[in-house]
Structure 1
Amino acid sequence: MIKAAIFDMDGLLIDSERIIMQGCIEAAATIGITYTQAEYVELVGRVWSDSTRLMTQQLGSEANFQHVMQGLNAFLAARDHAFPLKAGVEPLLAYYQAQGIVCSVASSSPIPHITHRLTHTGVLPYFSQVTSGQEVQRGKPSPDIYLLALEKLGLAAEECIAFEDSELGAQAAIAAGLRVVVVPDLRQPSAQVRAQAHQVVDSLHDWLMHHDALSGCLL
């Protein structure tokens, strides 16, 4: 029986990646740049410093990057920087809480973004620990964020399970020795990640229903 579940946030717990991508595409269009989903997906799972560097390259200059960020911030401010929960999140968290399984977040996002987004959706109280990409020197796919999350929990990797939506995030959790359930968001996992993952499912709802029905516990 697992003792803890570690969750990524953006694209996994909350449906944020599509909205942020839309904001980037619209902001880039105002300066005549066609920004694509394929380009945005390359950012997913990365810490802010890595995303900034890559997106600046994609957009062609620091000035273009700053323009897109200003447009994105206005786009998100109109939505109070809030996003809806993904399917099955709250039922799964409630299930784990009832089973005495500790829940933790390991997200590349800054701490203020994590707390704001999870508070807005009402699920922050389910999590005993929050680990941010700001707290480690190397972002995903390095295992550092998951190793730190395990250290905070005081548990070994084999006592925990991780949930990820992105390729880089799944690689990070796998490298940390965790069993990983991949719930794809903007892009399907590679063949390598599929082979190494504990399971790939369409949603956290599917994970909860399938495993509870089969065994009464989510292992």
Structure 2
Amino acid sequence: MIKAAIFDMDGLLIDSERIIMQACITAAQQVGITYTQADYVELIGLAGPDSTRVMTAQLGGIEKFNQVMVGLDAELSKRNNAFPLKQGALQLLQHYRANHVVCSVASSSATHHIKHRLSQVGAMDYFAHITSGQEVARGKPNPDIYLLAIKKLGLPAEQCIAFEDSEAGARAAIAAGLKVVVVPDLIQPSEFVTKHSHQIADSLLSYLERI
């Protein structure tokens, strides 16, 4: 019996990945660098230090990375770093609350970003716990963030279900021994993730309609 649900945030609960990707592309263009969707998807699901390392290599060094980050921050500030909820997110959270399933977040994003983005869409109060990439030594696809989230819940992994959109995130949840529902956003799951996931769903709404 499922007693807790653990959610990734970006690209899963909130529709942020496409917006952030376009902001990265625009910020890179502003300093004369061509940045593509293929480049951006390499970052999805990674913790801050890992995404910084990958993006620095993509852009050609720390100076160019810093220039792009200034532009990215400016682009996202235009929308107050706020992003809309994904289809079915609120309905699924409401369903779990009504059925006494505890909800938590396990996101590679920084804690302040998690709280800000979920508060902006009125979803923060649905979560009993938040676990961020800042709290673990190794980011996704390592299982550390999910193992910590499970520890905070005080439940065995088999009584929890995880929701992910990314390859790295899904692999992390699988490695932590969780049932994983993958809702693809910018990239489709690999054969490994598809094989080891509990379910692949078109959206959180379509998953809710099946349970």
Q: TM-score, normalised by structure 1?
A: 0.96
Instruction: Provide the secondary structure at the position in 2 that maps to 1:202.
Output: coil
Instruction: Provide the secondary structure at the position in 1 that maps to 2:155.
Output: coil
Distance in 2 of aligned mates of 1:20 and 1:134 = 20
5 Å matches for 1:167-186?
Answer: 167-186=167-186
Give structure 1 regions of 4+ aligned residues with deviation exceeding 6 angstroms. Answer: none
5 Å matches for 1:167-206?
Answer: 167-206=167-206
- Amino acid of the residue matched to residue 69 of structure 1? M
Distance in 2 of aligned mates of 1:66 and 1:145 = 27
Instruction: Provide the secondary structure at the position in 1 that maps to 2:55.
Output: helix
For residues 119-173 of structure 1, what are the alpha-carbon distances to aligned partners after superposition, in whole Å with 9 as ceiling and x for unaligned?
Answer: 0010000000000010000000000000000000001100000000000000000
- Tell me what 1:79 maps to: 79
Could you tell me how far 1:195 is from its partner in structure 2?
Answer: 0.4
Distance in 2 of aligned mates of 1:165 and 1:33 = 28
- Tell me what 1:45 maps to: 45
Distance in 1 of aligned mates of 2:62 and 2:130 = 31
- Tell me what 2:36 maps to: 36
How many residues are paired up?
211
The answer as to 2:70 corresponding to 1:70 is yes
- Aligned CA RMSD, in angstroms, stands at 0.5
For residues 47-85 of structure 1, what are the alpha-carbon distances to aligned partners after superposition, in whole Å with 9 as ceiling and x for unaligned?
Answer: 101111110000001111011100010000000010000
Instruction: Provide the secondary structure at the position in 2 that maps to 1:5.
Output: strand
5 Å matches for 1:1-219?
Answer: 1-211=1-211
Instruction: Provide the secondary structure at the position in 1 that maps to 2:6.
Output: strand
Instruction: Provide the secondary structure at the position in 2 that maps to 1:52.
Output: helix
Distance in 2 of aligned mates of 1:30 and 1:144 = 37
Instruction: Provide the secondary structure at the position in 2 that maps to 1:96.
Output: helix
